[in-house]
Amino acid sequence: NEFEDYFGVTEIPDSAKGPYEVIRVVDGDTMMIDIEGVETKVRLIGVDTPESVATGDNEYKNCEEGKIASDYTKSLVEGQRVYIEYDVDPNDDYGRTLAYVYMSNGSMLNEVLLKQGYARMMTIQPNVRYVDDFLAIQTQAQETGVGFWTGFEFWEE
């Protein structure tokens, strides 16, 4: 199935909650989700996309790639119903909920962004449940030069 190859369809884990409606996508790795009637800012665990809505002292980080990643995330989940899975720490220091987000087809959005080269890994302890999977997916994206791995200079380390 071409769709499964493209998205890496898995099963939504039993520990995931939902479905919840994605009210809007803030940027490639952050969205507002209606969780039991509360508009909640959810940040994807384990991935980082280029900036598109940074303000103040960080405004210089906004770039075209950030807009591309944001638009891609919007195309997949905005207005859709998703499931969320928490890791060890459900919140960050900015008051955001941290989660793995699963689309209705079973694909984990965090993995899809890595697979398509629109995100890179960002591991923050203790939320490391899928770090080995994420590393393998990112390595494949880098080696095949997919997405931003084809010359997005800020990612070269």
Catalytic positions, written as ranges? 43, 51, 96
- Contact by Cβ (8 Å): 85, 16: yes
Q: What is the DSSP string of 8-76?
A: T-----TT-EEEEEEEEEEETTEEEEEETTEEEEEEETTEE---SS--GGGGGG--HHHHHHHHHHHHH
- Contact by Cβ (8 Å): 77, 22: yes
